[in-house]
A and B are shown apart, each in its own frame.
Chain A
Amino acid sequence: MSAIELHDLRVVYRRKGEHDRVALDGVSLESDNEMLALLGPNGAGKSTLMGVIAQTIRPDSGERRTPTSRKGLSVVFQTPSLDLLLTVRENLRLSGALHGIAKAEADERIRDIATELSITDRLDEQVRHLSGGLARRADLARALVPRPTVLLLDEPTTGLDIDARRSFWDSMERIRKRHGMCVLLATHLIEEAERSDRVAMLSDGRLVELDTPSRFRASLGSRVLRVAAADGESIHAVDRWLKSMNREVFRIDSGLIVPDAEDVDLQSCPIDQVSLTLAPPTLEDAYAIRTTTGAIS
């Protein structure tokens, strides 16, 4: 049995005087001892899916099966969930107590985790005095005290600058290598999804596709053609030109993407006022193609 097994989940938010909103629609997935990224725009259903796994949201239908109780599950939320008036050590001890861990055992774990996350010298400072990046690492430490088998990261680097983000992920990589656990990461940042073993693309509450980052990229061939232009007329003209060559064309917000485009002759493009880029495919290309609502295939 996998650490996380979800079958045909459906969650509908009902508010008085408003239309029902389907937050999750038929989502099924399994995950075990890997980092799985849930990639999607705001409102795609990532946080709702996290809530179902954390058992704070009850699905309207479907099944959530997991061998881990809440004791083996921790969550790092979008914003640090620490008591600002307590010291880092007091927060970590509280996390241990909430998971039924004895104080002596918790103190031992805190020592280890603080060393791993390089926060040992800040353990006795009140959280309100920490920088955003340090507070984030302290929050990660808080989630690691129970030694979870399933760790949920809900957009954990929101609001962090580049250095703090890099430091967070470096720490996370070390922890994963050492302890091994199932990490579920909700994000809308492509570079964070690239770090994952697999990526689940979500759009409008549906699981669009689930695969490894490399296979997502490989599905677009060795080169993609990206087309950008200042006006819609030029885009339409390029679209017509590519279709005349029986190319598969996807319209995205910023223009067009053409997969398997290694043999497209850019010199023969009849339109001048466009930017044509032939490049190796990225996860972002795959994501744009799979989640765009106006895709022309």
Chain B
Amino acid sequence: MNGSGAMSALAVRELVRQVRQPSRIVASVATPLMLWLFLVGGFSDAIGDVANGGASLTAYTIPGMASLTVMFASIFAAISLIQDRQDGMLRVALVSPAPRWSIALSKIGAGSLIALIQALIILFALPFLGVQITPLGLVGSVLALLCISTALIGLGLAMAWIVDSTQGFHGVMNALLMPMWLLSGAVFPVEEAAGWMRFIALANPLTWAHAAMRWSLGMSDAFNPVLAWGICVAFALFGAGLGVWSIARSRHTR
């Protein structure tokens, strides 16, 4: 059976669910927005410009806040797999002739779209902070955010496949993703961090996704853009591959 029809139907279902649960959108956008307002706003005058004077702290952290929004939306997207298992929707899909990759890719596709829309709300604050978004900046940001969401939803699906409860999933994802985000140059320039922290940050694929996004927006050229984009895309492919593989390999519905 051609799985594209099943995939798009499942993806539409995710989008309809999203529209009928506006609290999910609020939860994904509000937390990064408040973090940005209260934490970064509080420090901005004390710290001054960052990234070799290229941007104020408030503007510099916007891509990081956009990626945090993507992270929260990705967690919600992956959690929906656990919810589907509890509601019985997962077993309906698993006993159908639809290929299993269509289940994973529908979650990644719809989840990424939702995450992107939410992240763009944050990103569009940049012009108000003195950073104009050029067409290249917009395309680059969208691609980088899509890479991040694809990777994180894929990783989340792999995790959700083996974790039974939403509480357990939250615990694992927070323990994994929050340090990953904090050590990715989301709120400070990695190139100016202490040696040990710089070392960890450079091994973090999210750092390179932020670098690619900031390069596109003309906010920082501290990293080689080709390398940054290469790692960013590889991260997305790895995450998506892991998510698809996790669901497709098992013969049990769990």
Contacts and interface: CB of A to CB of B under 8 A. Distances in A.
Nearest to B21: A85
Interface residues of A, number: 32
B111 to A, nearest CB: 16
Contact of A55 (B1, B21, B95): B95
A106 to B, nearest CB: 10
A51 interface: yes
B6 A97 contact: yes
A267 B21 CA distance: 71
Nearest to B20: A85
Contacts of B20: 85, 126
Interface of A: 51, 54-58, 69-71, 73-75, 77, 79-86, 90, 93-95, 97-100, 126, 142, 146
Given A58-B251, A86-B13, A90-B16, A77 B5 contact: no
B221 to A, nearest CB: 45
B17 A75 contact: no
A151 to B, nearest CB: 12
Interface of B is mostly: helix
Given A54-B95, A69-B97, A98-B97, A83 B9 contact: no
A146 B6 CA distance: 13
Given A56-B253, A70-B95, A98 B87 contact: no
Contact of A93 (B9, B21, B92): B9
Nearest to B84: A83
B94 A83 contact: no
A83 B91 contact: no
A70 B91 CA distance: 13
Contacts of B33: none
Contact of A77 (B21, B88, B96, B98): B88
Interface string B94-110: 11111000000000000
Contacts of B88: 77, 79-82
Interface in B5-34: 5-6, 8-10, 13, 16-17, 20-21
Contacts of B5: 97, 100
A81 B92 contact: yes
Interface in B172-212: none
A85 B17 contact: yes
Interface string B224-254: 0000000000000000000000000001110
Contacts of A79: 88
Given A74-B95, A75-B92, A83-B17, 7 more contacts: A54-B95, A56-B251, A69-B97, A83-B87, A85-B16, A86-B13, A90-B16
